[in-house]
Amino acid sequence: MANKKINKKDIGKLLNKWSQEFTVFVPSKESGVATMSKWDGKDTSFLDWYRNMVVPPKANLLPTMEKMFSFQKDKEGYHLELPVSDEQKQLIFGIRPCDAKAIAILDMTFKDAYEDPYYLTKRRNALLVGLGCTNPCDSCFCTSLGVSPGESTDVDLMLTDIGDEFLVEEITQAGKELMATASGVEEATQADEARAKEVKEASYNKVTRKIDTEGIKEKLLPAFENQDYWEKVAAKCISCGICTFLCPTCYCFDINDELVKKQGARFRNWDSCAFPVYTKMPMENPREGKWQRVRQKVCHKYEFYPMNFGVIACTGCGRCIRLCPVNWDITQTLDSVPAKATA
Instruction: Determine the Cα–Cα distance for residues 273 and 296; give it in Å rounded to an integer.
Output: 8
- By DSSP bridging, strand 185-187 and strand 23-30 are unpaired
Site for ligand SF4 in 37-96 (CB under 6 A): none
The verdict on 241 binding ligand SF4 (CB under 6 A) reads yes
Q: Which of 6, 8, 85 has its CA nearest to residue 48? A: 8
Site for ligand SF4 in 203-232 (CB under 6 A): none
Q: Which of 34, 47, 1, 38 has its CA nearest to residue 19? A: 38
Among the candidate windows 37-45, 74-82, 260-268, 321-329, which touches ligand SF4 by CB under 6 A? 321-329
Q: Between residues 14 and 330, which has the closer beta carbon with respect to ligand SF4?
A: 330
DSSP letter string, 95-155: E-HHHHHHHHHHHHHHTSSS--HHHHHHHHTEEEEEE--SS--TT--GGGGT-BTTB-SSS
**Whole-number minimum distance, CB 339 to ligand SF4, in Å?**
23
Among 160, 317, 333, 334, binds ligand SF4 (CB under 6 A): 317
Q: Which of 116, 258, 244, 145 has its CA nearest to residue 204? A: 145
SS3 263: strand
Q: Between residues 207 and 314, which has the closer beta carbon with respect to ligand SF4?
A: 314
The verdict on 2 binding ligand SF4 (CB under 6 A) reads no
Q: What Cα–Cα distance (Å) separates residue 128 from each residue in 170, 180, 268? A: 11, 16, 25
Inter-residue contact 243 to 320 (CB < 8 Å): yes
Among the candidate windows 171-179, 181-189, 245-253, 261-269, which touches ligand SF4 by CB under 6 A? 245-253
The verdict on 301 binding ligand SF4 (CB under 6 A) reads yes
Q: Between residues 28 and 249, which has the closer beta carbon with respect to ligand SF4?
A: 249
The verdict on 238 binding ligand SF4 (CB under 6 A) reads yes
The verdict on 255 binding ligand SF4 (CB under 6 A) reads no
Would you tell me which residues interact with ligand SF4 (CB under 6 A)? 237-243, 247-249, 274, 301, 314-320, 324-326, 328, 330
